[in-house]
Structure 1
Amino acid sequence: MRVLLSTYGSRGDVEPLVGLAVRLRDLGAQVRVCAPPDEDFAQRLADVGVPMVPVGRSARALTTGAPPPSSLPERAAEVIASQFDVVTSAAEGCDVLVATGMMPAAAGALSVAEKLGIRSVSITFQQLTLPSPHRPPLAYPGRPFPPEVTDNRVLWDLDAQSNNVLFGAALNTNRASIGLPPVDNVRDYVIGDQPWLATDPILDQWLEPADFDVVQTGAWILPDERPLPAELVTFLEAGTPPVYVGFGSMPMRAATDVARVAIEAIRAQGRRAVVARGWADLDLIDDRDDCFVVGEVNQQALFGRVAAVVHHGGQGTTMTAARAGAPQVVVPQAADQPYWAGRVAGLGIGAAHDGPAPTFESLSAALRTALTPGTRARAADVAGAVHTDGAAVAAKLLLDAVCRERPPAST
């Protein structure tokens, strides 16, 4: 069985595929991953021995370049073209293609599978792209919804129109180039009849009804066996548990100010700090010995040893902190992050910061909530309830589905 996993996006779009790839390989499948050519993505896949096929240009460069919203169709066209170019050859001979990441990237990959006549599965790592009467869609940059429209079903119709305006022309031009008919609804084409939701049902409960079937597998997390750096272990053991602060793949334009606010707010609570550089390039603000800076690190191991986790609210970081039983302060920057901030606050496992730009006062208030004994107790309770086998569940479902569709071997 040969499987291609295809994505284009940030670390949060790549890391879950690492977990699925390893579980598929455990079941005897041959797996490769199409992903952006960023060095940290390539290294992560190399660490687990999964071949990577680079597609497009650096996701970090695309994210941190801060292009204007008006350029989104052009950037999407570039992403779509790279999918048709690279994924077509990578998918040759495969039995199934799993598509996720940015909407235009997933649309391109699914079109390749359609052309090759192989099974495909559409994956999302948060439910906010799935139309639902229970909540509104996310608006694309530069395309806000009319403030007078409040009916969720109408808003989802407008969302479909936005996807067509932004991505439809580029997608259909590339589809025509390989002899495929045009798609008249890009979003619904990507979602399909049975999308998979790779999130934990405790953190991200899917509420029926919908116009399609949703397969919720649980989050795809691979146990991380990498040891923590010796210097970090020494720091952790030299005092009380510190507070971790990091913003993952978010560029954080005022990174120096954010680092200063975070460290000073953490110190005001009588805590030490572990600062993760991330794509914002956060750094220490002085040479005091109560702070330690890290790069790529095993968050699973680290979060089990901290007093709280201050982060941007990406699905992966939220899930990792929840599994570790670490209280959270979510400072959402964009996209689905306000949703995860709300889930953390709603579950009582941390605090949701109001807005993307923390001040000393606002972050201090959020930290006071997160550092209470009650929040830690609730975080420990939730940690015991979240699912830990999502990648294994998904791997078995995927291979079973392909096997059922295969014609019986001739005798």
Structure 2
Amino acid sequence: MHVMLMTYGTRGDVQPFVALGRGLIDKGHQVTLAAPERFAGFITDHDLEFTPLTDALIALMDDPQFAHASDPKASALAKLTSLFAIGKKARGLHDTLLDDIFRAIDQAKPDVIVFHPKTFGALPIGRHFGIPVVMAQLIPSFIPTGDYPHMGVPDLGPRGTLGRWYNRATGKLIYRLLNTTLRRQVCRWAARRQNGINAKGLDILQSCKSGTLPIVHAFSKAVINRPTDWPTHATVTGYWFLDGTAQTTPPDTALQNFVERHKNLIYIGFGSMPGNDPTAMAEMIVKAVSQAGVSAIVATGWGGMENINWPSNILAVREVPHDWLFPKVDIVIHHGGAGTCAAAMRAGRPSIIIPFFGDQPFWAKRLHELGVAPRPIKPAKLDAAMLARRIKTVLETPAYRKNAERVASKIAIEDGISNAIAEITHAASQ
């Protein structure tokens, strides 16, 4: 069976698909992975056939306007202005992405397509070519449920103080907005290209209910129970972890030596989220680490903190394999991205989360409910003293570590990749 995997976004959006691809290959299937060009080396290093998608949209994250939009200290007007500017720059880039999706599917002609929602065009394009399609979700964002509100709207309290009606209503509202927006994008692109793609009337939720679009969710039931009001063809498989030599081989000697020399070691990484002033963020981290009396490994990511003069008790790295490092630290401090949350819980380590936007507040709240993280810190209120207090609290409260290890033991017995492959194989046979 030839499986085309298609994803778009940051490393957190790509790595689970690499893991799934490796699992499919190990089962004897052929795999083609379409993803942003910047991840070509990462994907081919894992012996996967790679097809590039334009980097243009994801490159907007490097734009200064993105930093303004995610800056917690910026005013609402400033954020809206920045978001408008980003949206203006994105015009036309969606067509380029859809062109690449069309080309990738047309050239590969796979037996089944597994696509990330950010490559929504794969659904109507795949159907145009008569290819079965499966949607792969890393977060529970498309299907309404009464269990929790949509992550794009306020949570009014435990389970939502307006109850299941409010939760389900928010999910339906956001779903309709997303489905309509994405459908219109594809329809306008198809009309301009005159390629015969028909997206009129396309409805993801109805397709899932009818069984023509299975949706697999790559997270653990130990973290989020599968809602009982979801359609039958919406499944929760467990996480898709990328295992390999990183678990036994340190990335480099300097990092290995630093880990061996320091006790009370924490990890700090915010991906692309440090905001409009990475220097101020770095200074805050240095003070917090000093006040808490710990040592830290700081992942600079895309955040602009590469050229900081760090003290000897802090080691800065561009990136580091979470599966190798997290079991060796005492606390994981991060922005609440789905992938980082998963890696921290798998390692049995407590988190301290500073959520910036998107799905991050949702995961931050969920990890707090599980008892593996204290109450999340709002970015606008983050300072060195507050972060130092949270670090000390987590280190001095054994329950956080015990709860994290309990969740890790449940995650360990799941086989998310095998479960996903079973769903994909079934979809391809229909």
Answer yes or no: is the 8 Å Cα contact 1:127–1:206 preserved in 2.
no
Match of 2:385 among 361, 372, 377: 361
Given the alignment of the two structures, is residue 312 of structure 1 paired with residue 335 of structure 2, yes or no?
A: yes
Structure 2 counterparts to residues 36-185 of structure 1, below 5 A: 36-38=36-38, 41-58=39-56, 60-65=58-63, 66=65, 68-70=82-84, 72=87, 75=90, 78-91=93-106, 92-102=108-118, 105-106=119-120, 108-139=121-152, 151-163=166-178, 166-176=181-191, 177-184=194-201
Q: 1:190 to 1:48 in 2, by over 3 A?
A: farther
Question: Aligned pair count?
Answer: 392
Equivalence for 2:219: 199
Answer yes or no: is the 8 Å Cα contact 2:336–2:355 preserved in 1.
yes
Equivalence for 1:244: 267
The Cα offsets for residues 157-216 of structure 1, whole Å up to 9 and x where unpaired, read as 432442256434321123443223343456537866431111111112222213553211
Answer yes or no: is the 8 Å Cα contact 1:60–1:279 preserved in 2.
no
Q: Secondary structure at the match of 1:304?
A: helix
1:393 counterpart letter in structure 2: N
Which is worse superposed, 55-64 or 326-335? 55-64
2:285 counterpart letter in structure 1: A
The Cα offsets for residues 109-131 of structure 1, whole Å up to 9 and x where unpaired, read as 11110111011001110113321
C-alpha separation between the residues in 1 aligned to 2:207 and 2:343? 27
C-alpha displacement at 1:363, in angstroms? 1.6
Q: Secondary structure at the match of 2:329?
A: coil
Answer yes or no: is the 8 Å Cα contact 1:160–1:185 preserved in 2.
no
Equivalence for 1:31: 31
C-alpha separation between the residues in 2 aligned to 1:190 and 1:62? 32
TM-score (norm 2): 0.83
Q: 1:287 to 1:127 in 2, by over 3 A?
A: closer
The Cα offsets for residues 21-71 of structure 1, whole Å up to 9 and x where unpaired, read as 000001111111111111xx2222122111211112255422232364335
Answer yes or no: is the 8 Å Cα contact 1:219–1:391 preserved in 2.
yes
Equivalence for 1:408: none
Unaligned runs of 5+ in 2: 67-81, 154-161
Unaligned runs of 5+ in 1: 141-147, 406-411
C-alpha separation between the residues in 1 aligned to 2:149 and 2:426? 34
Q: 1:319 to 1:75 in 2, by over 3 A?
A: same
The Cα offsets for residues 255-282 of structure 1, whole Å up to 9 and x where unpaired, read as 2222222232122121001010111133
The Cα offsets for residues 321-372 of structure 1, whole Å up to 9 and x where unpaired, read as 1111111111111111111111111111122423224212322232233222
The Cα offsets for residues 353-411 of structure 1, whole Å up to 9 and x where unpaired, read as 23224212322232233222221122122211114521122123322442x33xxxxxx
Q: 1:165 to 1:219 in 2, by over 3 A?
A: same
The Cα offsets for residues 278-318 of structure 1, whole Å up to 9 and x where unpaired, read as 11133475453111111232211111111111011111111
2:236 counterpart letter in structure 1: Q
Answer yes or no: is the 8 Å Cα contact 1:253–1:280 preserved in 2.
no
Equivalence for 1:384: 409
Percent of aligned pairs with the same amino acid? 28
Answer yes or no: is the 8 Å Cα contact 2:32–2:48 preserved in 1.
yes
Equivalence for 2:374: 351
C-alpha displacement at 1:73, in angstroms? 7.9
Answer yes or no: is the 8 Å Cα contact 1:134–1:152 preserved in 2.
yes
Answer yes or no: is the 8 Å Cα contact 2:394–2:400 preserved in 1.
yes
Q: 1:374 to 1:292 in 2, by over 3 A?
A: same
Q: Secondary structure at the match of 1:207?
A: coil
C-alpha separation between the residues in 2 aligned to 1:58 and 1:155? 31
Q: CA RMSD in A?
A: 2.6
Q: 1:231 to 1:341 in 2, by over 3 A?
A: same
